[in-house]
Amino acid sequence: MAYIKAWRSAILHCIENPTDVGSEKAFEYYPDGILVVTDGIISALGHASEILLELPNSMDIEHHPEALIIPGFIDTHIHYPQSDMIASYGEQLLDWLNHYTFPEESKFSDKEFARDVADRFLKELLRNGTTTALVFGTVHKQSVDAFFEATESLDLRMICGKVMMDRHAPDDLTDTPESSYQDSKALIETWHEKGRLHYAVTPRFAPTSTSEQLSAAGKLLTEYDNLYLHTHLSENVQECEWVQALFPESKHYLDVYDQHQLLSERSVFAHGIHLCDHEYQRLSETGSAVAFCPTSNLFLGSGLFDLSKAEFHKLNVGMGTDVGGGTSFSMFKTLNEAYKVIQLQGQNLDPIKSFYLATLGGAKALRLEHKVGNLAVGTEADFVILDKTATPLIKTRLARSKEIADTLFALMILADDRVVKATYSMGKCVHRREE
Ligand code: GUN
Ligand code: ZN
């Protein structure tokens, strides 16, 4: 028998890109809405006054009058092994990698250690309302087994991959072109498209891979359908200079990846701060996506992502927390910093656009928009119940809000995990806030 349940609350989701249709037409808002879920899939969404007429009297309806239901957030770039080294002081990217990141990632040769971090990482994502993420593992194959095993009982839609890194890192963190190919292949065979899981071929970034290894990554992409490519691009000025010195024959940073056939509709490049017009163009024409990671870009002093230029070139953009270079698992805090990054460039980031980037825009960047990212009928029931009275300040600020865009904006600036009352994956509760 089908399992049906409904939730009644204010409900908000995006249906289009605000840049294409204007903010007003990009979302649907039900001040008193009902979301119906049948066997994990959304089977109805609408105004309570209409949907109630169609539901049987015996229907199990959970009512949240002081809440706002939204789709689960989508984090398009994060490192699970860096969870516990978040907030490491005083360095920019290349020194930060050597002083903090590599020693931390060495610990993931121990699968039990990795599993413990993966379990806590997933809890942290869910307490922040994030239900799908594109996740870096470490160079160790078992780090990805541990991650996917941890996701299985929660039935989350997740993407992860083993780091490929064969130079410019400590010996215990390097693989070879051949071993990285074989290990990635074994992980793909075990996990890719198993239930809701997907595999991402994950060369760390151009400086830590030889050309042979990048070719092995490109070969994997041709051997299986629907694989992702996940890496870093043009984050930090010294990094960009280093790439130019290591690959003198490449036209620019992106060209290194391009020459190894790594640009595709399922390629996601984190950061993309210091790009030339040709790089924007190539990203656009190959359907590649960029993960905008504002807390990381500010924390590591990397620079300001130019969203308007990305939009001009019609790039797919999603939001990334980039923990542990990023400073929070919270998409609210990430959007808060995104707003400031855009302000510093003399522009505004509209709250509906921000919300889009963290939900449907992220899903589109990951080519998952028919499964997650909004609450459309037929999609998977990954959603979050937000408590509009979570703190005294949020309660009073939202009480004066007359429009949903203003409510959203105030949440983006003021909210964090305290407002996430419950998180659902396929209609099942996977996080409930302690009261
Ligand atoms: N570039 C290469 N590796 C990393 C990493 O772990 N974090 C960030 N932010 N940038 C990188
Ligand atoms: Zn990163």
E runs forming strands in 225-315: 228-233, 267-271, 289-292
Give the position, in ligand 1's atom list, of the atom nearest the Cα of 325: 9
Query: Is the domain of 298 the same as that of 386?
Result: no
Query: Is the domain of 62 the same as that of 79?
Result: no
Query: Is the domain of 317 the same as that of 252?
Result: yes
Task: Give the pLDDT of residue 1.
Answer: 83
Q: Is the model's pTM score more than 0.95?
A: yes
Write out the residue range of the structural domain in which residue 33 sits: 4-72+373-432
Please state, in angstroms and rounded to a whole number, the distance separating the CA atoms of residues 232 and 297: 12
Residue 184 falls inside a structural domain: yes
Give the ligand whose atoms come closest to the C-alpha of residue 295.
Answer: 1
At which of 298, 329, 360 does a domain end?
Answer: 329
Query: Is the domain of 380 the same as that of 246?
Result: no
Q: Is the ipTM of this complex over 0.95?
A: yes
Report the chain's mean pLDDT, rounded to a whole number.
Answer: 98
Model confidence pLDDT, tens digit, residues 338-372: 999 999 999 999 999 999 999 999 999 999 999 99
Q: What six digits make up the tokens of 208? A: 């830590």
Residue 365 falls inside a structural domain: no
In this prediction, residues 26-55 reach a mean pLDDT of 97
Give the position, in ligand 1's atom list, of the atom nearest the Cα of 136: 6
Query: Is the domain of 57 the same as that of 111?
Result: no
Residue 351 falls inside a structural domain: no
Query: Is the domain of 40 the same as that of 110?
Result: no
Cβ(213)–Cβ(203) below 8 Å:
yes
Query: Is the domain of 206 the same as that of 308?
Result: yes
Model confidence pLDDT, tens digit, residues 384-420: 999 999 999 999 999 999 999 999 999 999 999 999 9
Give the ligand whose atoms come closest to the C-alpha of residue 208.
Answer: 1
Query: Is the domain of 120 the same as that of 177?
Result: yes
Task: Give the pLDDT of residue 435.
Answer: 87
In this prediction, residues 133-155 reach a mean pLDDT of 97
The interaxial angle of helices 351-358 and 331-343, nearest 10 deg, is: 130
Query: Is the domain of 297 the same as that of 384?
Result: no
Compute, in angstroms, the gap from residue 199 CA to the centroid of ligand 2.
Answer: 17
Compute, in angstroms, the gap from residue 190 CA to the centroid of ligand 2.
Answer: 25
Bond preceding residue 33 cis, omega within 30 of 0: no
- Is the pLDDT score of 85 beyond 90? yes
Residue 334 falls inside a structural domain: no
DSSP track, 289-351: EEEE-HHHHHHTT-----HHHHHHTT-EEEE---BTTBS-S-HHHHHHHHHHHHHTTT----H
Residue 347 falls inside a structural domain: no
Residue type, 31: P
Q: What six digits make up the tokens of 83? A: 């969870």
Tell me the CA distances in angstroms from 333 to 123, 273, 275, 319, one per residue in order: 17, 20, 25, 11
- CATH no. for residue 388? 2.30.40.10
- Angle in degrees, CA 132, 407, 128, rounded to 5: 30
CA 431 to chain centre: 18
**Structural domain tally of the chain?**
2
At which of 265, 298, 329 does a domain end?
Answer: 329
Listed in sequence order, the residues at least 6 apart from 248 whose beta carbon sits closer than 8 Å to its beta carbon are: none
Residue 254 falls inside a structural domain: yes
Q: Which of 84, 101, 240, 328 to mutate to test the pocket of ligand 1 (most atoms within 8 A of CB)?
A: 101
Query: Is the domain of 171 the same as that of 92?
Result: yes
Residue 234 falls inside a structural domain: yes
In this prediction, residues 62-75 reach a mean pLDDT of 98
Q: Which of 232, 268, 290, 327 to mutate to test the pocket of ligand 1 (most atoms within 8 A of CB)?
A: 232
In this prediction, residues 86-93 reach a mean pLDDT of 96
- CATH no. for residue 280? 3.20.20.140
In this prediction, residues 268-284 reach a mean pLDDT of 98
Query: Is the domain of 173 the same as that of 275?
Result: yes
Does ligand 1 have an atom closer than 6 angstroms to the CB of 364?
no
Atom 3 in ligand 1: which residue has the minimum CA distance?
A: 204
Residue 367 falls inside a structural domain: no
Task: Give the pLDDT of residue 417.
Answer: 98
At which of 329, 354, 388 does a domain end?
Answer: 329
Query: Is the domain of 151 the same as that of 196?
Result: yes
Please state, in angstroms and rounded to a whole number, the distance separating the CA atoms of residues 434 and 418: 10
In this prediction, residues 8-23 reach a mean pLDDT of 98
Compute, in angstroms, the gap from residue 323 CA to the centroid of ligand 1.
Answer: 10
Reduced to 3 states, what is the DSSP secondary structure of residue 398? helix
Model confidence pLDDT, tens digit, residues 236-268: 999 999 999 999 999 999 999 999 999 999 999
Compute, in angstroms, the gap from residue 175 CA to the centroid of ligand 1.
Answer: 17
Please state, in angstroms and rounded to a whole number, the distance separating the CA atoms of residues 132 and 20: 24
Does ligand 1 have an atom closer than 6 angstroms to the CB of 382?
no
Each residue of 378-406: b (16+ CB within 10 Å) or e?
ebbbbbbbbbbebeeebeebbeeeeebbe
Model confidence pLDDT, tens digit, residues 291-337: 999 999 999 999 999 999 999 999 999 999 999 999 999 999 999 99
How large a percentage of the chain has pLDDT more than 70?
A: 100
Give the ligand whose atoms come closest to the C-alpha of residue 320.
Answer: 2
Residue type, 418: R
